[in-house]
Chain A
Amino acid sequence: QAQLVESGGGLVKPGGSLRLSCAASGLSFSDYYISWIRQAPGKGLEWISYIDTSGTYTNYADSVKGRFSISRDNDKKSVFLQMNGLRGDDTAVYYCTGGRTSWGYSDSWGQGILVTVSS
Chain B
Amino acid sequence: DIQMTQSPSTLSASVGDRVTITCRASQNIKKLLAWYQRKPGTAPKLLVYQASNLEGGVPSRFSGSGFGAEFTLTISSLQPDDFATYFCQQYSGYPFTFGQGTTLEIK
Contacts and interface: CB of A to CB of B under 8 A. Distances in A.
A59 B94 CA distance: 8
B89 A105 contact: yes
Main SS of the interface on chain B? loop
A105 B46 contact: yes
A45 B32 CA distance: 17
B67 interface: no
Given A105-B46, A109-B43, A44 B100 contact: yes
A47 B96 contact: yes
B83 interface: no
A59 B93 CA distance: 11
Contact of A103 (B32, B45, B94, B99): B32
B95 A45 contact: no
B71 interface: no
Given A103-B32, A105-B34, A107-B46, A47 B87 contact: no
A107 B87 CA distance: 14
A69 interface: no
Interface in B46-100: 46, 49-50, 55, 87, 89, 91, 94-100
Contacts of B87: 44-45
Nearest to B53: A105
A44 B94 contact: no
A75 interface: no
A107 B55 contact: yes
A106 to B, nearest CB: 6
Contacts of B100: 44
Interface string A81-119: 000000000000001000000011111111110000000
A47 B97 CA distance: 7
A104 B50 CA distance: 10
A21 interface: no
A44 B101 CA distance: 8
Query: Which 5 A-B residue pairings sit nearest by Cβ, starting from the closest?
Result: A104-B91, A105-B34, A109-B43, A47-B96, A45-B98
